Structures are given as structure tokens and as C-alpha cells.
Structure 1
């Protein structure tokens, strides 16, 4: 059984649209767990009144993404999950999303799977997976580099985001849960999928499964809209900082081959120091 884990903190309008899209799935072979980490905007009331089929696990407001996801996964495994999927609340799933993910999972039962992401406003594809060259810290965007005829089915990638991430129980059995101590918010998803890949599990982007996202609502985008020295500090050192230096260091130490680590770290630090002002 597939359990979908959705961590939320406020923004109930996004949560509502996400859950409505799950109700419209052509395959209903899943259950949903929402981890409500101390929302103060009436999310709890909305879930109870409008989505009684959803199981709710609550936090105290200090879980952040990683611990919230882990709390939901633990609950799912206790309920007998054979697969779990992490899903952000600010996504809308296409009607065939779950069916396509389950079809791919049935054919590749050991694989970690992600989905093609579209911009909710334009319908344009905006994320189709990456391959990272650790030697040069160069990211190869598959949407840009793959010919159109190859942007189908499953494509191998280095890592995946957690916005629609299917994980077989075999992976959690072998590598455990997300690294909530060292990576409480950003990079925990890329780290986990990279660790799983290095442990021998295939990691694929599934171009047949699609979901829509709101890129302008991401924490990194919002921070950069109003640049300031305080924002710069938060970018580099805050828990929600997209350029958090400590998080990047943990990711590098865990995943970069030792031979390439010095350059990878120096290059990554430089990008984070200047990137806040360039994007």
C-alpha cells in the first residue's frame, strides 16, 4: 500500500487544492497522511471538516520539512505501508499522477521515483531531473539536454526533490529515514535520494507522472524578492535558507567522492556567497 505524506504549516489554501487533486486521481490505491506542524490558520478544522479520509499527525511547530516528513513516514510504516511518497502541499497532481507512479514502481520495485514538474501558471515543464558531475559541481538539466523524444518514461538522475517522491520500503529498511539532525529543511531530499542511489537503488525521474507547482512561492524565491543583509544572512545560515552553508557542507561530505571534495566545497561556497544577489 502506498501512503502519501504531506507536511504542512499554514497555507491551508494550498493544502486544500492539493488534497482535492488527490481525490481526482484515476487510481485511489493510496492513503494520505498530513503532518500538521502547529498550523494557526485553521488548517486543522479544514482537514477535519472537508477531508475526513485523511489521517492527521500533529507537531508542535518545530519540525520543519525533514522531521515532519519523517514523522509521517514512521506513521505510514506502522500502518503497513510498502511504499511512501513525500508530497509538498503547494502542488497539484495531474489526474493520472498516482497511476503513473504506481505503474513505474511495479515495473521497478527497487527504484526511487520522482515526477515531471510543470509551472501551475503556464503549464510549462520546469523540472525534469538533474545529473550532477561532482568533479566540477556542474548540474546537467535533463529538460535542456535531453532531445524531446527522450523526455519520456524513466530517466536516471543523481537525486530528486521531495515534492512528489516515491520511496519503496526496501529503501527505508536499508538507509533509514531523512537526515533531520543535519539537514532539517533544505537539501534533505537531495541528500536522501543521493544516499539511496549510492546504496544501490536506482533513482529515476518519471516523465509520465506530472504535477504542477508554484515556483514563485518557494522559500528561496520569496527571500530573494526583497534582498537585504538580513535576508542574505538567513539565506546562508537560516534553517530555511536555500544557500545554507552548513547544510551544503553536510551534503558534500556525505555524497561527494573524496577526490573531488575540496573543489566541490570551494565552488559550492563561492556560489552561495554570490548567488543570493545574482538570481
Structure 2
């Protein structure tokens, strides 16, 4: 059995689209759990109406990704009492998947037992760039290598020529298949330190340290609406917006979150956070200079 936990908030169209994709899966031994964290757009009502087999849990709007996911995970662990051979799949709603997605995850898991299996991300929009294909972490110099770019030049075809599964040092929660024994061994997501961003990275790194390898299934693809998630810090922005992004909950450069991550996982945490923030600030300055030069041409 695969228990699919999807945290949602005020994105009714995305949520319903994701559930439609899951309804088309060739794997039928599944249960979908939507955690509606205080939506005001009628998401929960529409899910219950259109997908009556889906379990809908409700939050008050303050759970964010990690808290909402934990609510779904605890529902599975405490209420449904899954078997050791079962799985929990964490999934975001801003994606599309083909009908064989769950089957491909199970094939990869069967071939690599005790592993957490992650998904490849491809942009849903043309030219369908490869967005995610695993990471490599260097905790000494605060560097996370994006293998989609460094190994596969953002081309899914290049990834397929490599291997059916590739190793990764961490996994995102956007399509992460977790064997039930992993939760029994390490607990749930750390929603106190990482309420939104980096909760999935922290969880997967903890699992790897506990002896559960991390793999990416080349055949398990989520097509991502890449412009629908959080704060986009890859584009030029005003200094005021950049300063706000350093503390915004939905921002990937939230200083406090990255500080907690360094304290938990880096051998020299203050060196890590210093280099990390210098890289973030330097990247901002370079983007601003490039944008200014482009306007002057």
C-alpha cells in the first residue's frame, strides 16, 4: 500500500489537477490523504465532492509544509497502522504525473530495498527542462551541487542515458517514497526548525545517516509548475525584497532556516553559514549588476 500525503493551501486548481493524475494511476493499492491547511478557496469541499475516496484532513493555516505533511504522516502511522512493507509518498500539488508514475517508484524500491526513492523533476512548460536529478552536498564549503545542471545539462534525455537510478545526498518532498520503517526509525519531519523549506532535505539526510540510502528513479517523473512555488530568488529584485526574503517563511534563503540546517548537519556550522550567506549575497549582487548592464545596452 502507498499512502500519498499532499499538503495544500489555496491552490484548488493545482490540487484537483494533481488528484486527477493520481486517479489515473495503474497502481490501485493506494490511499490519498490531502491535508488542507486552512484554505479559503473551497479546496477541501471540492476535493470531498470530486474525489470521495480521498481522506481530507484540516489544519488552521499555520502548519506550512512540514506541519501539514506531519499531520498526514501521523494519521497514517497512528490511525491506519500500516504494515512494514507499506510506503508513504510525500507529494506537492503543483505537479503533473503520468499514469505509470507510482508503478515506476515501486519498481525502483523493489530493486533497491531499504532505500528512499526520489523523483526526477521536469518543467511542465516547453522546452521541458530537467529541473531536479539529485544533489551532492559539501558541508565543509556550504555547497549543494545540482546534478540536473552539472551532470545532465538540464536535459532529461541525458539522464535516461545514465542509469535507471542515481544516488543523491538529499531528496525533496516533491515525490519522495519513504518505507514505513524509516519513520519508525527516525521520526517525522522537523516542523519546529524547518516549518516550510529544507524540512525534506533535513529528513532525507537524517534517513541517510540512519542507514537508508537515497536514490532518484530516472523513470519516475513529476512535471513541475516551477513558477507556482514560494519566492523566486533566482531573478533580480529590489534590495527591500531581497532583505524580506532573508526572513520570509516561503523563501529558500531564509537565514534562520539555513542556520538551523548548518547547526544540524555541518561539521563546522558557523563556517558553513558564513560561506552560505556570502554566496547568497554575492549571487544577489551579481544578478543585480547583470540586470543593470542589460538595461544600459
TM > 0.5: yes
How far apart, in 1, do the equivalents of 2:99 and 2:52 lie? Answer: 21
Partner of 1:52: 52
1:143 — aligned with what? 148
Write the distance in 2 (CA, Å) between the matches of 1:278 and 1:143. 22
Question: 1:208 pairs with 216, 219, 224, which one?
Answer: 219
Match of 1:183? 194
Q: Which of 1 and 2 has greater Rg? A: 2
Q: Tell me, what secondary structure is at the counterpart of 2:246?
A: helix
Q: Distance in 1 between matches of 2:231 and 2:106?
A: 31
Q: How does the TM-score come out when normalised to structure 1? A: 0.92
Q: CA deviation at 1:208?
A: 1.2
Structure 2 length as normaliser, TM-score? 0.87
Q: Is the 8 A contact 1:4 1:31 kept in 2?
A: yes
- Residue 39 of structure 1 corresponds to 39
Give the Cα–Cα distance (whole angstroms) in 1 for the partners of residues 151 and 255 of structure 2. Answer: 31
Tell me, yes or no, if the aligned pair for 1:143 and 1:151 is still in contact at 8 Å.
no
Aligned mates of 2:284, 2:115 — CA distance in 1: 34
CA RMSD, aligned part only? 1.9
Q: Secondary structure at the match of 1:36?
A: strand
Look up the match of 1:268: 276
Matches within 5 A, 1:221-240: 221=232, 227-240=237-250
Report deviation, 1:59: 0.4
Q: Secondary structure at the match of 2:231?
A: helix
Whether 1:23 and 2:23 are equivalent positions in the alignment is: yes
Report how many residues are paired: 276
Q: Give distance in 1, aligned partners of 2:117 and 2:75.
A: 21
1:278 and 1:188 map into 2 onto residues whose CA distance is: 28
Q: Which residue of 2 aligns with 1:97?
A: 101
1:3-56 C-alpha deviation (Å, 9 max, x unpaired): 000000011000011011111112122110000011001112211111111000
1:114 alignment partner, one of 114, 118, 125: 118
